[in-house]
Amino acid sequence: MTLLNNTLPEQRRGKLKALLEKGKTVRVLEAHNGLSGIIANNTRVKGESEGQPVNREFDALWESSLTDSASKGHPDIEVVTFDSRLHTINEILAVTDKPMIVDGDTGGDVNAFEYTVSKLERAGVSAVIIEDKVFPKRNSLEAGVQQNLEDPEVFAQKIRRGKKIQKTNEFMIIARLESLIAGKPMEDAVNRAKIYLQAGVDGIMIHSKLKSADEIFEFAEHYKEISKELNLNKTLVCVPTTYNQTTESELSAAGFQIIIHANHLLRSAYKAMVETAQTILRDQRSLEADPLCSTVREIFKTVGFLDVKEKDQENEQTTNVPVIIPAAGEDPVFKEMLNGKPKAMLEICGKPLLQHQIQTLNNCNLADITVIAGYGRDQMQADGVTILENPNFNNGSMLNSLFVGKERMSNGFIMLYSDILTEDTVIQNLMERREDIILVADNSTQYHEPQEGNIHDFIIGKHQHKPARRQIRFSSENKVAKIGSKINPETASHEFIGLARFSKTGAEQLIETYNDIVKNYKGQFQEADDISRFTFTDLIQEMIDRGFAVHYMEIHKGWLEIHNAEHIALAEKSFNE
């Protein structure tokens, strides 16, 4: 996940100095683009130090001129402009949080160097290393290349001007000695080191392209002496590309505090890329190249694509969930009052019941609402909802109407009975839940007398405890053991309020079970005397019996059912409060 490394310039810049002040030997790895930056920043291995297990990682990133140029297909001769380098630098900074040391080449003209310092410091870079060669420099590692050293006084002036322009004391300017690269004697390097230290530089990098570390070890000894002489203690840096048999601990023991592995991610990627290209050409397919490649998924993971996928899914689960309201049945209680209209059109405070439901759902960012109409179909009216029809509403149960909306279920959905009013918080809490099937259940049922003529869907929770004054139960334990209208109210722990949520998986399980029942069952089924009249709760009970986990979300208030005139009065009272 790349946003995990998200940081600000002011949070990053001082990290390098802080590590050095702690006396840590700073281990640095090259990065040349965002992806290699993530690898350098995030790679960790388990190791051992003095018999103790340790987690090892790089402490900082090296933005190399060699690898930045090479990744653009260019030689390392200061032909890649500073703006282009800054683009790469920012690309890496955007996905990493470790301190960055930038390879500033010669630093260019002294005036240009001031702009370089200012822009790097502003971006959150911790240090720039400039080499004492004449612009445009040539890379240091190739034998036989002409290396032109800068006049040490001219270079010292560049250091002074750079140090003056920086705004914080977190930013470091390090001078890189190219004397040994240019074939000059050790004495030249030592003299230059003295001049640069006196000009106020924050550290010295001694470069070498020998196979052995002998000459840089020799320099380190001189460095100790001049540091003593000048009463300074400035950071010493090395780049062990050619003398890479020398270990970090040997370099550290010799006095090096920053060790830069300067080009290895680019070189390893280059090798794998060439071999991959050759393998595909040779075999005329890519199968044989697979061992040379990471999986696509590994890259997806590294660059944060899998996090995006997860967030999209979460977003989908919390915002775009379709709601299905089965509202097709005829209501005997309100028959006269409704005068041919469906119950969803029952007026409460001058607004149809359905409109109140839509308002609550919209308040919870649920706008994809499907109403299943049947009785009084022509008079079912609501803005911003899809109305589907169950022409067969007189036969079967509400479940048939619900399944008229089957097409809407497959990515997960919410089911809401058409005669239920809830507070926003009930729906909001339901949206937070992650279980695949969750029914909203009122636990105050034991304290209410069942109302005459009302059908209640009762629940018996799986973990029935003896009533206790206080208890805490984790919501994941809240599973339904039994559900149905024929459960003895005295043994019921909850009442199902007619609001349920199904995840994508939960919806798949529901549809699969429903299809199987419709296809394969006959006669009496669960509480239904005939399969043709089996209900939503019969289906849920069947799912429980088949081993699917059905959870309930416990509430004790915040909802109303509209089953009689008394309920309407209660609802109106609530709305007017």
CB 69: neighbour CB atoms within 10 A? 23
Q: Which amino acid is at 77?
A: I
CB of 33 to ligand SPV, least distance (A): 14
C-beta of 43: minimal distance to ligand SPV in Å?
19
Least separation in angstroms between residue 259's CB and Mg ion is 16
Q: What is the CA radius of gyration of the chain?
A: 37
Residue 64 interacts with ligand SPV (CB under 6 A)?
Answer: yes
355 phi and psi angles, rounded to 5 deg? -65, -35
C-beta of 131 vs 542, nearer to ligand SPV: 131
With respect to ligand SPV, which residue has the nearer C-beta, 30 or 554?
30
The half-sphere exposure of 193 on its side-chain side, counting CA atoms within 13 A, is: 31
Q: What CA–CA distance (Å, rounded) separates 234 from 252?
A: 14
Binding mask 131-150 for ligand SPV (x = CB under 6 A): --------xxx---------
357 binds ligand SPV (CB under 6 A): no
Q: Tokens 């009013």, residue?
A: 421
Mapped onto helix, strand or coil, the DSSP state of residue 7 is coil
Judged by CB under 5 A, the chain residues 50 through 69 that form the site for Mg ion are 65-66
DSSP 241-275: SSSTTS-HHHHHHTT--EEEE-SHHHHHHHHHHHH
Residue 8: count of CB within 10 angstroms of its CB: 9
Residue with smaller CB distance to Mg ion, 203 or 506 = 203
Tell me which of ligand SPV, Mg ion, none is bound by residue 141, counting a contact when its beta carbon lies within the kind-specific cut-off of 5 to 8 angstroms.
ligand SPV
Q: Which string of x and - marks every residue 531-550 that binds ligand SPV (by CB under 6 A)?
A: --------------------
Q: Report the nearest approach of ligand SPV to the CB of residue 32 (Å).
A: 9
- 150 is a site residue for Mg ion (CB under 5 A): no
The residues carrying an active-site annotation are 76
- Contact pattern for ligand SPV over residues 495 through 534, marking x by CB under 6 A: ----------------------------------------
Of 29 and 553, which has the nearer Cβ to ligand SPV? 29
Q: Does residue 409 contact residue 507 with C-beta atoms inside 8 Å?
A: yes
Could you tell me which stretch among 58-66, 274-282, 296-304, 564-572 binds ligand SPV (CB under 6 A)? Answer: 58-66
Question: Which ranges of 82-185 does DSSP label H, i.e. alpha helix?
Answer: 82-93, 110-123, 152-165
Q: Is 11 left (phi over 0), alpha (psi -120 to 50) or beta?
A: alpha
Beta-strand (E) ranges in 455-505? 457-461, 480-484, 494-502
Interacting partner of 239 out of Mg ion, ligand SPV, none (Cβ under 5 to 8 A depending on kind): ligand SPV
Residue choice 182, 213, 239, 483 for contact with ligand SPV (CB under 6 A): 239
HEC-encoded secondary structure of 396-429: CCHHHHHHHCHHHCCCCEEEECCCEEECHHHHHH
The residue among 213 and 409 lying less far from ligand SPV, judged by its C-beta, is 213
Residue 331 identity: D
Query: Which residues lie closer than 8 Å to 225 by C-beta, 6 or more apart?
Result: none
User: Which listed residue (30, 103, 542, 561) binds Mg ion by CB under 5 A?
Assistant: 103
When CB distances are held under 5 to 8 angstroms depending on the partner's kind, the choice from ligand SPV, Mg ion, none that residue 89 binds is: none
96 lies in the site for Mg ion, by CB under 5 A: no
Q: For residue 478, what is the DSSP state? A: -
CA atoms of 327 and 6, how far apart (whole Å): 49
**Stretch 240-279 residues interacting with ligand SPV (CB under 6 A):** 241, 262-263
Contact between 65 and ligand SPV per CB under 6 A: yes
Binding segment (CB under 6 A) for ligand SPV, from list 60-68, 315-323, 526-534, 539-547: 60-68
- Kindly write out the interface string for residues 102-121 of this chain, putting x where it contacts ligand SPV by CB under 6 A and - elsewhere: -x------------------
Q: Where are the beta strands (DSSP E) in 119-202?
A: 127-131, 172-177
> Where does this chain bind Mg ion (CB under 5 A)?
65-66, 103
> Where does this chain bind ligand SPV (CB under 6 A)?
64-66, 76, 103, 139-141, 239, 241, 262-263
